[in-house]
Structure 1
Amino acid sequence: MKAIVHDTYGPPSALQLRDVDRPAVGDREVLVRVHAAGVDPGVLIFLEGRPYLVRLASGLRRPRVPVLGRDVAGVVTEVGARVTRFRPGDEVYGTCLRGSYAEFAATHERRLAGKPTNLTFAQAAAVPVSGMTALRAVRDTGQVRPGHRVLVIGASGGVGSQAVQIAKAYGATVTGVCAPTKTDFVRSLGADDVLDYSREEIDRDGPVYDVVIDTGGNRPLSLLRRALTPRGTLALVGGDWTRGRLLGGYGRQMFGAPLLSTVVGHRLRAVSAQERIEDLDELRALIESGALTPSVDRSFPLAETGDALRHFTDRHPAGKVVVAVTHPDD
């Protein structure tokens, strides 16, 4: 099968389209004929092996898993002997650990759910990683309730665009923070107000937000706290992974926020990195009800995955970037 492979850590130019063996399927695993795969910051982190802390999991000198990609949407073609949730022909979406930038990908059955019936494969591939992160930021970390005022920083990105819609579905009044070229897009997501970060800072209105969801990763905690009510919650999503070789921008989540939370009234929390079938099911329910619609900024063919990653980093897309996989018999 065709797959995007990297044998060494490096930039997108290190990627190669090669023929590799189709992955074997374990007893509790499913083989998916990939139709589309999403792009997220984690892909760039594992491609570059930076911040260096990630190499403890991915391989110190070279990547243990040469095929990139986590988000996946496609059709089940084979199931392991102990799989009970799926059968060949089922349309699914979810995540995989052994690479979705390929014609076929294997993953545990607990990492997949039925594809939302009202989405294309490309739209479905835009959901899993970013959607589950957004859901946890709103529901679990932020504990958003009807009547809450929520600020979403990075509201036009993959996580932020879904967090805006999920927070609205949970009954919040939402303000999105984005670039001036993305204000109309963020309003189209349902944001009640939009803050153009090139003209105004997030503390423009003072300490008025019950929850601040920060997907940008480049503002100091002191500034973020100035936008929170006295008992408000700051949900930190990821970090600026390009800053610093060892930890990147993740020092805030790992050290700064937990320590500061012990001496201030605000709840400063990192959004957990769990991936659960229950979250995929809740996202599907939100999507099929019309409360959540993933946005695809642009789709690239598998052979142009390097261009997809460059577009993701250089163009600040509105919504998600997707890699589309075609098969010879399509």
Structure 2
Amino acid sequence: MKAVVYKEYGAPEVLKIQEVVKPTPKENEVLIKVKASTVTTGDTRFRKADPFAIRFFNGIIKPKKQILGMFFSGDIVAIGTKVTKFKIGDKIFGSTGMSIFNAWAEFICIKEDATITSMPVKITYEEVASVIFGASTALHFLKKANLKKGDNILVYAASGAVGSAVVQIAKYYGANVTGVCSSKNFKFVKSLGADKVIDYTTEDFTKNDVKYEIIYDSIGKISYKKCKNSLTHSGLFVSNNAGLGDYLNLIWTSFLGKRKIVTGVSSDNLEKLTQIKKLLETKKITVPIDKTYPLDQIIQANYHVDSGHKKGNIAISFH
């Protein structure tokens, strides 16, 4: 089978499409013919080993796990002898997680009790594979922040995969949403449900005297220090990609003052996947896809993500 393999860290050119051995399901596993995947900033960080700490997980000199991709959709084509939850022909989507990766391959094996479930109706393979990263991250951090109906939330980088999901899910919870993006993405962010949109190239939201219960930085481009005066007295700065400075501030804010920092690492699980499926089926969220690339254009897809200017998600099609 074909898979995207990388044997050294670096630019997108380290990715090579190669023939590898097709996996065989164990007794508690299903074999999935992958129909679609996605390229996320998580994938590109592992590809580049940026931050350097990634090397402690995945090999100091070269990557241990050489096939990236965590999110996928596809069809079950074989099952292990003890599998009871799924059958051959089921259409499913899910996450392999950082401990496995392997979704940039034509076939993957995964345990039946892993983070997988049946696909929602009336949605494409590309859409459902692409939505997991942003929606799962948004659900995780908005829950940690205890977002409530009527809260004012500002979403920085509101047009990206995570930001676009935060805007939609925050609106679903009844918040008043302000999105921050470039002017070319105004209409897009408005279409997601944002009540107000700010162009970061012409307006500094930290100087407009507006206070927010939550400021959500979806790409790690701003900091608590810059934003703290734009928070309410007990407001929260949320970042799913916090820098060292924010982690240091997290320590002292945990003891001093009512303004706090919410950060860490989001993990995927079946509960969140099921919630995402429900949100899709009830049309509470949509899946904005900037561009869909065929598998043999995986390098171009990585460059698109590396540019930092994608609108929504990048999909990879295997069919």
TM-score, normalised to structure 2, is: 0.94
Q: 1:136 aligns with which of 136, 140, 154?
A: 140
Within 5 A, what are the aligned runs for 1:36-185? 36-96=36-96, 97-109=100-112, 110-138=114-142, 140-185=143-188
Which residue of the partner structure matches residue 299 of structure 1? Answer: 292
Moved more, 155-164 or 99-108: 99-108
AA aligned opposite 1:296:
I
Q: Distance in 1 between matches of 2:94 and 2:49?
A: 23
Which residue of the partner structure matches residue 278 of structure 2? Answer: 285
Q: % of aligned pairs identical?
A: 30
Aligned length: 315
CA drift at 1:82: 3.7
- Whether the aligned pair in 2 keeps the contact of 1:207 and 1:226 (CA below 8 Å) is no
* 1:293-312 deviation line (CA, Å, top 9, x unaligned): 01110011101101000011
- Whether the aligned pair in 1 keeps the contact of 2:156 and 2:216 (CA below 8 Å) is yes
Moved more, 152-161 or 308-317: 308-317
CA drift at 1:156: 0.1
- Whether the aligned pair in 1 keeps the contact of 2:29 and 2:79 (CA below 8 Å) is yes
CA drift at 1:271: 4.4
Q: Distance in 1 between matches of 2:151 and 2:66?
A: 44
In structure 2, the residue corresponding to 1:308 is in which secondary structure?
A: helix
Q: 1:272 aligns with which of 241, 265, 275?
A: 265
Q: Distance in 2 between matches of 1:26 and 1:52?
A: 34
CA drift at 1:207: 4.9
* 1:13-56 deviation line (CA, Å, top 9, x unaligned): 01111100112333433221111111111111111122111111
Q: Which runs of 5+ in 1 are unaligned?
A: 240-249
Q: Distance in 2 between matches of 1:319 and 1:279?
A: 20
- Runs of 4+ in structure 1 off by over 4 angstroms are none
- Whether the aligned pair in 2 keeps the contact of 1:155 and 1:177 (CA below 8 Å) is yes
Moved more, 177-186 or 261-270: 261-270
Q: 2:301 aligns with which of 304, 308, 327?
A: 308
AA aligned opposite 2:38:
G
Q: Distance in 1 between matches of 2:162 and 2:116?
A: 19
AA aligned opposite 2:300:
D
CA drift at 1:179: 1.0
Which residue of the partner structure matches residue 24 of structure 1? Answer: 24
Matched, 1:188 2:191: yes
Q: Distance in 1 between matches of 2:165 and 2:155?
A: 10
In structure 2, the residue corresponding to 1:126 is in which secondary structure?
A: helix
- Whether the aligned pair in 2 keeps the contact of 1:178 and 1:195 (CA below 8 Å) is yes
CA drift at 1:79: 2.6
CA drift at 1:71: 1.1
* 1:274-305 deviation line (CA, Å, top 9, x unaligned): 21100011111111111100111001110110
Q: Distance in 1 between matches of 2:150 and 2:239?
A: 21
* 1:236-292 deviation line (CA, Å, top 9, x unaligned): 1124xxxxxxxxxx3245433233332221121104322110001111111111110
RMSD, aligned CA: 1.6
Q: 1:322 aligns with which of 302, 315, 319?
A: 315
AA aligned opposite 1:117:
V
AA aligned opposite 2:171:
K
- Whether the aligned pair in 2 keeps the contact of 1:77 and 1:89 (CA below 8 Å) is yes
Q: Distance in 1 between matches of 2:275 and 2:297?
A: 32
Moved more, 275-284 or 52-61: 52-61
TM-score, normalised to structure 1, is: 0.91
Moved more, 297-306 or 229-238: 229-238
CA, structure 1 residues 258+88, in 2 after alignment: closer, same or farther (shift >3 Å)? farther
Q: Which runs of 5+ in 2 are unaligned?
A: none
Matched, 1:257 2:257: no
Moved more, 166-175 or 251-260: 251-260
